[in-house]
Structure 1
Amino acid sequence: MPFPPPPPEPDSPSDPNGSSPPKRWVSQKNSIVAFSSIAIALYGYDQGMMSLVNTNYSYLRTMGISGDSSMVGVIVSVYYLGCLVGAIIASDWADKKGRKRSINACLYTTVVGNILMFMSGIIPWKSDNTWRGGSCALMLIGRVVLGLGVGGIDATIPVYSSELSKDGARGRALAKEFQANIGGLLVAFGLNLLSTRLLGKESQWAWRLPIIIMQVFPWVLIFIIKRLPESPRWLISEDRIDDARKALIGLHGEVQADEFLDEFHRAQQEESDEQIGYLDMLNWNGSQFHPTMVTVMGQINQALTGYGAVSVYGPQIFELLGWDVLAAENTTLINYTIYFMMMVIAWMSIDVLGRRKLMVWGSGGLAICFALLAVLGGLALDLFHEPSLIIEILGSIVLVVSTAIFGICWLATVWLIPTEIYPSGARAQGSAISVIIWGLANFAVTFLTPLGFNYLKYWLFLVFAMTNTFAGWWTWRYSPETGGRSFEENQEFFVSAREEGSWVVKKVDGGKFLRMPPKQQDVANAEDGEIAKDDPTETAPLLEQHSESG
């Protein structure tokens, strides 16, 4: 858990769904933080798990494929197709049935998908673990079903979390959750590496145990979600005012609950009553087309950084730098450990430097790192024709640095922006579109990367250097700074862009959205009769964390 539990507090009011929880030793606020973090860690666990499953000899025999078969990439990447479908279904449920019920359904779906993966070829049929192709088919089905659940979670958790966080700390909250994502990746890879060392690459349990251990995540989340409140914003949108008040009392106490309730109710009434659908978001003339394109390109550009491939195929990438299999796996573990630690810098900087600046700087740094890796890979494979310790060490340092850059600058930012630029009626759909594009982009990257290993070798790094250059240019030109502003303030950018006929950030509203707003903006607004800095508005916290140090 990223935050220590607070002292015991009195009984909270009834849950919005009608249940009366017992006396609590962990507050609702900390439960929400823990829940969101574990849910995001679930996705990271899958990435770390598959990175060594792909190289297990028993797994390859059970699937009836070779280590260099394109089916290795298909089994990994088909999961992302499940994710995009799950995101669509879950976001629809999140709007119609509530954030909690949508997430709960996704958790049970994840349980089923994980069991199907574990059962693939577990008992030989006529001395054949491949089940005449059935093992691979069941693994593919399991990966898709798992993707349905995890994709739905990824679509709803950022919305749920952002609706319970203050404007000045939304980035910090989500970046902490994504640190848990890397924690999940690290735990999975560590368990996988331990089981491989103890049991060997010929043992089926070396790959089955890390798969079934994933069950811990959804079951813990199913237990926690029973005590969580529904999003007060969603409850207000459904005219469930009393339930929204109960949820706010459980989060923030009775006195401020009424103040928050009045403010959220006013904000809801000010928004258009028009139902916003996917066609309105994808139609060129639709009111939400511009923010949707910012969302889409953010996810495409994140995929173009190449770090979906590094997360899933870490050991193989270190082998391209000259390490043998054992050393590559150990170095990957070190890389993931540093990755996890560097996420502290991410949540410390994202609300200080802003989303846009981090992404632009990050793309530049990644482009330089991948260009260096292409040179070092060429030296290792073409010049020396044998392992060179200096090249291996230098290449590993560069790859670790690039991993840190990605974690700090790109991991959380593109997930945060969609939760900040849409009105309430489109926030869940916007988050779903983000997951859909993430699924399609990562499907392509994780499917093509094994082919890149086989045919491009170290030239694959040069490809990523060029794609990072493009990602940085697009972000600099078209992606507005959304940090430090309320949801409504961020929508002003798109209104101004429509009126001025330009999407170029520096040309919209005098370049106001090139950077974070001045710290005194709230004071100025108060002088104009708008939102006072200490008023219970969009800028006031719903989730005040008990530990700012994490």
Structure 2
Amino acid sequence: MDVSKDTPQAAAPATTGAAVPDDAPPAVSRRLRLITLVATFGGLLFGYDTGVINGALPYMTDDLGLTPVTEGMVTSSLLLGAALGAVTGGRLSDARGRRRTILVLAVLFFVGALGCTLAPTTAVMVVARFVLGLAVGGASVTVPVYLAEVSPAERRGALVTRNELMIVTGQLLAFTSNAIIARVGGESGGVWRWMLVVATLPAVVLWFGMLVMPESPRWLASQGRFGDALEVLRQVRSRQRAEAELSEASALAVKDEQQKLGGWQDIRSTPWVRKLMFVGFGIAVVQQITGVNTIMYYGTQILTDAGFAADSALTANIANGVISVLATFVGIWLLGRVKRRPMLMTGQAGTTVALLLIGVFSLVLPSGDGRAYAVLAMTVTFLAFQQGAISPVTWLMLSEIFPMRMRGFGMGVAAVVLWLTNFVIGLVFPSLISGIGISSTFFLFVVAGVLSLAFVKLYVPETKGRTLESLEAELKARFS
């Protein structure tokens, strides 16, 4: 069947894409796996660049003459860059394409990592970390959207959450390589530079890999390039399934073009889109308000306060990274079998109970090995629920719920909320620990967890088992 490049009417008959069996040959499945692997190097870089500072910061303090204030600036400049990078990356991916945006992000990852490695002063380090943040924020939006738009409906959950797996793998890689590099060259000056330069390697792989990857078929359809969209779909679907999905995508693209969706003005003038943005903001806050990044950024300090010696706390922190990776594997498995919304609520309940017990154990158990291992057990439990349920579902749902023509922009704005929430929690956590103690601090997170459960139950829709086009129609009907 010949499909015109510019004429959606020439697409296949209107058939729900998810209803057509995808009996694709093995070569097609291998192509989809390769696309997923290459794109998720963006997630690997996301994880490594956010995790590496944990081990590098103590070593760069003397070399750069960091004070507590400038330590905070070095750490948090990446988070502020990520907030800007999320919304900018989302807009860029809607305007210029997902693939082209990821190529730009690969360059930013490389330049930012090299700038951090060679930084002669604190000011240069802060600027370089901000550039890295732009790349991290852009990747946090663009990679999940790209994967969601390339994936078939029944495999979307598993394939999109491969990015979450690569994020936690990147964090584990950072923790592990930091420990190895510190052991090998810890007494030599500038050892932290070797920790930071490792991140340039996956950035090169991402750039070269994306050069030969296809553009998102949904983005091509949104630009009226229906022939190109069909060509890409045929790379990752059976012929019949590709034509059915193009029919849905092209019809929706025409409708979206008529409604002029895609920017701030449309959010203000379209009530159901505004409500979706509210849901997206809520999902973003729910993911961060568990306090997950207090464990990631201050895990060693929490374990030391619980009673571990400094060396033992560092080793235990690596164990937290291992648990995160294993839990993400479980999360990917679960997403193929259970619905998103119950999974998110289960994760919230589990993290809330774990935080409650961390607070209780810190309050009632005497200092010593008993309290130390009890707190470690609860941080492991917390990360199992967080990385096995909440984080995968968060990034997946944010990549699914927004209309096609503003999917990158919508997810970008939601990710800004996520990164700013991350920044605020990371900024105030040390002060809370110092001011009211670890138990009271975690009790505050427990209260936030209960409120998050209520929000998910009342407002978050189910997204499993629909094509992105049928899901958009459902959400429009629900929120109109």
- Contact persistence 1:62–1:136 (CA under 8 A): no
Matched residues in 2 for 1:197 and 1:211: separation?
A: 16
Deviations 1:409-453 (A, max 9, x none): 211111111222222112111111122112211111222223334
SS of alignment partner, residue 276 of structure 1? coil
Q: Could you say what secondary structure the match of 2:161 adopts?
A: helix
Query: 1:9-61: CA deviations, max 9, x gaps?
Result: xxxxxxxxxxxxxxx9995322211123221111111232111223x2x3112
Matches for 1:166-177 after TM superposition, within 5 Å = 166-177=152-163
Q: 2:52 aligns with which of 44, 49, 52?
A: 49
The alignment status of 1:98 with 2:97, answered yes or no, reads: yes
| Superposition deviation, residue 395 in structure 1 | 1.4
- The residue type equivalent to 2:414 in the other structure is S
Amino acid in the other structure paired with 1:240? R
1:433 is matched with which residue? 413
Q: Which residue matches 1:192? A: 178
Residue 246 of structure 2 is aligned to residue 261 of structure 1 = yes
Which structure's residues are more often helix, by fraction?
2
| Offset at residue 71 of structure 1 (A) | 3.4
Task: Specify the SS of the correspondent of 2:178.
Answer: helix
Q: 1:482 to 1:179 in 2, by over 3 A?
A: same
Aligned twin of 1:397: 377
Residue identity matched to 2:101: S
The residue type equivalent to 1:83 in the other structure is: A
Larger CA Rg, structure 1 vs 2:
1
Q: Deviations over 1:461-513 (max 9, x none)?
A: 222222222211211121111222233443455444445xxxxxxxxxxxxxx
Counterpart AA for 2:184: L
Question: Does the Cα contact within 8 Å between 1:59 and 1:204 map onto a contact in 2?
Answer: no
1:138 to 124, 142, 147: 124
Q: Which amino acid aligns with 2:278?
A: M
Paired AA for residue 361 in structure 2: L
Letter in 1 for 2:99: K
Separation (CA, whole Å) in 2 of partners of 1:235 and 1:443: 35
1:406 CA drift (Å):
0.5
Q: How does 1:387-426 map to 2 (within 5 A)?
A: 387-426=367-406
2:457 corresponds, among 476, 480, 484, to 476
Quick one: which amino acid aligns to residue 431 of structure 1?
M
* Counterpart secondary structure, 1:458: helix
Whether the 8 Å contact between 2:63 and 2:190 is mirrored in structure 1 is no
Measure how far apart 1:402 and its partner are.
0.8
Q: Distance in 2 between matches of 1:177 and 1:336?
A: 16
In the aligned structure 1, how far is the partner of 2:314 from the partner of 2:470?
47
- CA distance, structure 2, for counterparts of residue 35 and residue 176 of structure 1: 11
Residues in 1 aligned to 2:288 and 2:473: alpha-carbon distance in whole angstroms: 28
Gaps of 5+ in 2: 1-26
Summarize the Cα distance change of 1:284–1:319 in structure 2 as closer, same or farther, 3 Å threshold. farther
Flag the 1:241–1:284 CA change in 2: closer, same or farther, 3 A.
closer
- CA RMSD, Structure 1 to Structure 2 (Å): 2.3
Q: How far has the Cα of 1:222 moved from its partner?
A: 0.6
Partner Cα separation in structure 1 for residue 464 and residue 30 of structure 2: 27
Does the aligned pair in 2 maintain the 1:77–1:444 contact within 8 Å?
no
Distance 1:257 1:282 in 2: 31
Relative to the length of structure 1, the TM-score reads: 0.77
- 1:314 matched to 2:299: yes
Higher mean C-alpha displacement, 216-225 vs 249-258: 249-258
For 1:334-360, what per-residue CA distance to the aligned partner results, in whole angstroms no more than 9, with x for missing partners? 121122112121011124222211222
| AA matched with 1:184 | G
- What secondary structure sits across from 1:228 in the alignment? coil
Structure 1 contact 303–441 (Cα < 8 Å) conserved:
yes
Separation in structure 1 between the aligned mates of residue 205 and residue 254 of structure 2, nearest angstrom: 37
Indicate if the aligned counterparts of 1:158 and 1:431 stay in contact, CA closer than 8 A.
no
The 3-state SS of whatever aligns with 2:259 is coil
Give the match's secondary structure for 1:483. coil
Q: Distance in 1 between matches of 2:96 and 2:148?
A: 18
- Residue number in structure 1 paired with 2:280: 295
Contact kept? 1:28, 1:227, Cα under 8 Å: no
TM-score with structure 2 setting the length = 0.88
Q: Is the 8 A contact 2:401 2:471 kept in 1?
A: yes
**Contact 1:199–1:205, Cα closer than 8 Å, also in 2:** no
Q: Which amino acid aligns with 2:382?
A: S
- Paired residues of 1:84 and 1:439 also in contact (CA < 8 A): yes
Whichever residue aligns with residue 108 of structure 1, its letter is V
The number of residue pairs the alignment matches comes to 453
| Distance across 2 between alignment mates of 1:48 and 1:214 | 11
| Structure 2 match to 1:30 | 33
Pick aligned residue for 2:203 from 218, 229, 237? 218
1:48 and 1:334 mapped to 2: Cα distance?
14
Is the Cα contact below 8 Å between 2:339 and 2:462 reproduced in 1? yes
| 2:150 match: secondary structure | coil
Matched, 1:182 2:168: yes
Alpha-carbon distance in structure 2 between the residues aligned to 1:64 and 1:287: 52
Unaligned runs of 5+ in 1: 1-23, 122-134, 500-550
Can you list the C-alpha shifts for 1:187-217, whole angstroms capped at 9, x where unaligned?
11001112222333x5444321111001111
Q: Deviations over 1:60-84 (max 9, x none)?
A: 1233234xx2433332122121112
**Whose RCO is larger (CA < 8 A, sep 6+)?**
2
Structure 1 Cα separation of the partners of residues 362 and 279 of structure 2? 34
Which of residues 294, 303, 328 is equivalent to 1:343?
A: 328
CA contact (8 A) 1:363 1:472 kept: yes
